[in-house]
A and B are shown apart, each in its own frame.
Chain A
Amino acid sequence: MNIIVCIKQVPETGNIKIDPETHTLIRSGVPSIVNPMDLYAIEEALRWKEKLDASITVMTMGPPQAQEALKEAISMGIDRGILLSDKKFAGADTYATSYTLSLAIRKLAPYGLIFCGKQAIDGDTAQVGPGIAEHLNIPHIAYVRKIEEIDQDKGIVKAQRLMEDGYESLEVQIPALLTVVKEINEPRLPSLKGKMRARKAEIPIWEATDLEKEGEDAFGLSASPTQVKTIFAPPSKAKGEIFTGEASIIAQSLLERIRAQKII
């Protein structure tokens, strides 16, 4: 079986800064990482690799440096990577992104399973995974917390979808797309041999001309129905007031303040 894992390279969130003038993300000097949720998708694919005798391809759409993310996946044990990179892809929203990825996935047919992380930590939409499935016209299960069974003969996959108040057990036909949540596994670290393999790995780059699109404006910003009006950083919380002095005085001041607010 061919398994495909779609991942995204994202800025490390620990130190994200927003430009106060343009209200956009300051990317320069921010290290890039594999979207943490996607590591669970990579891990789940690897766990099924042996049982399904599968070959796994990892794919991402992004600038040339996104191949580092693909190499990280290869160092964890993924067989090969494909980078979708073209200036025409730039500015894509979730619709255009999932369409572009779906075209690339079609080129890899026949495929059995597609894994994605639940969502990316930068955009936070959780739309690209299901979007790919819709463009491919295949079933999907989002928020998978456990795969119960994959039966190649019957051509089905059974999985548990995480809900706010429990989980649903669903069965869909293969080929199918699954987006996974962090409850599903614990991603492994890269191995030394994996890293050595990743260093040597050649990552093919597919451009717009490599994909069979429908219509003229198929990619990037011009094919994106989402229009971003403005991005802004929410104002940081105002500093709290700190009362000092003896306990009885503090309590008195607090009570006055609560009364002034008409809370009591």
Chain B
Amino acid sequence: MDYFLTEEQEMIRDLARRIAQEKILPLRVELDEKEEFPWSIMKNLAEADLFGIYLPEEYGGTSGGCFELCLVVEELSRVCAGVALCFATSALGTFPLLLFGNDQQKKKYLSAIAQGEKLVAFALTEANAGSDAGGIQTTARLEGNEYVLNGTKQWITNGGEAEIYTVIAMTDKARGSRGASAFIVEKGTPGFEFGKKEKKLGIRSSSTRELIFTDCKIPKENLLAREGMGFIVAMKTLDTSRPGIGAQAIGIAQGALDEALVYARERIQFGKPIISFQAIQHMMADMATQIEAARFLVYGAARYVDSGAKDISKISAMAKVFASDVAMKVTTDAVQILGGYGYMRDYPVEKMMRDAKITQIYEGTNQIQRNVIALQLIKEKAKGK
């Protein structure tokens, strides 16, 4: 299938595919078992210039966008979604800076990010603020030329490994969601510590930790946009990054279909390879069709985001929700096709099934995504579109 990629996009995809095959594949079992952060692969991705694909040339990037990111995330996820997440999260954490940072802030941070010298993390979730982001309890109080942060962020991907954190905290609790603000916090700032590392079902090579702020003082200049803009920063960031979760989901699903195909051709039962049975053929036909449908939706959404359009919430939610549901279904079916072998850790599909589950949960659960889509439908109708 031709996805009408430019020559440069093909280069990006091929490079990512090569890194996935040559560098990730030999390590993925070990990384999953040991729950180890894939620093050597982050270095490979950095040397290949892939951390800068969505950043402007003036900061050392190659001026692509959400779509180029999706191409890389998909290829990496086809082999290991955990490794792909470590890469993708750096982009998620960078979007607030890219979309809302002033020139000084961009100059200070983006070059190191583009070169992959520094990883980034995005900190929104808290123990009591998941789907309901309005429940944020972390505060930022302006004292002279500094903001003082207090509170705990939970389940922060790249926590502990990243050097730069974009953090949402309340500057004015009384104003509710309009009282949130976004900040840049650097690792090593006094009063900023990391809590326990979580043990997860899947994406185990990625790091998920608490960020604990105790009278953590950061310069006033580290405020992104203006006070009270925190929610807009977070929502716009997630709208931009969500097709990336879709891409991760397609990658996982494609990887599972690849494995199922190989196995079905080799596995002999009743004297024939099981791929010759219509029951298996129809399963695989459905898997392939669903992946293709998800891919077109994700690519379409990513290209729409890159077009500079403002109304991206609905399409990016659709891309995330559809692709992640496909990933869950396809990986479950892949395990089914491999049968008892599929359930064993000797084969990669059980890991893919474990990894797929998170794509239905993070960056807004699929239930929340459906709320977003429905809300937009209602708004559009009300506007008479």
Contacts and interface: CB of A to CB of B under 8 A. Distances in A.
A199 B12 CA distance: 13
B38 to A, nearest CB: 15
A196 B62 contact: yes
A171 to B, nearest CB: 32
B19 A189 contact: yes
Interface residues of B, number: 16
A76 to B, nearest CB: 10
B2 interface: no
B201 interface: no
Does more than half of chain B's interface fall in helix, strand or loop, or is it mixed? helix
Contacts of B18: 189
B53 interface: yes
A199 B6 CA distance: 13
Contacts of B22: 189
Contacts of B62: 192-193, 196
A218 to B, nearest CB: 40
Question: SS class of chain A's interface: helix, strand, loop or mixed?
Answer: helix
Interface string B8-24: 10011001001100110
Interface in B1-51: 7-8, 11-12, 15, 18-19, 22-23, 44, 47-50
Nearest to A199: B7
Contacts of A188: 47
Given A195-B15, A196-B62, A190 B48 contact: yes
A191 interface: yes
Most buried by B among A190, A192, A195, A199: A192
B48 A192 contact: yes
Interface in A183-223: 188-196, 199
B47 A195 contact: no
Interface of A: 188-196, 199
Given A189-B22, A192-B49, A196-B62, 15 more contacts: A188-B47, A189-B15, A189-B19, A189-B23, A189-B44, A189-B47, A190-B15, A192-B12, A192-B15, A192-B50, A194-B49, A195-B15, A196-B11, A199-B7, A199-B11
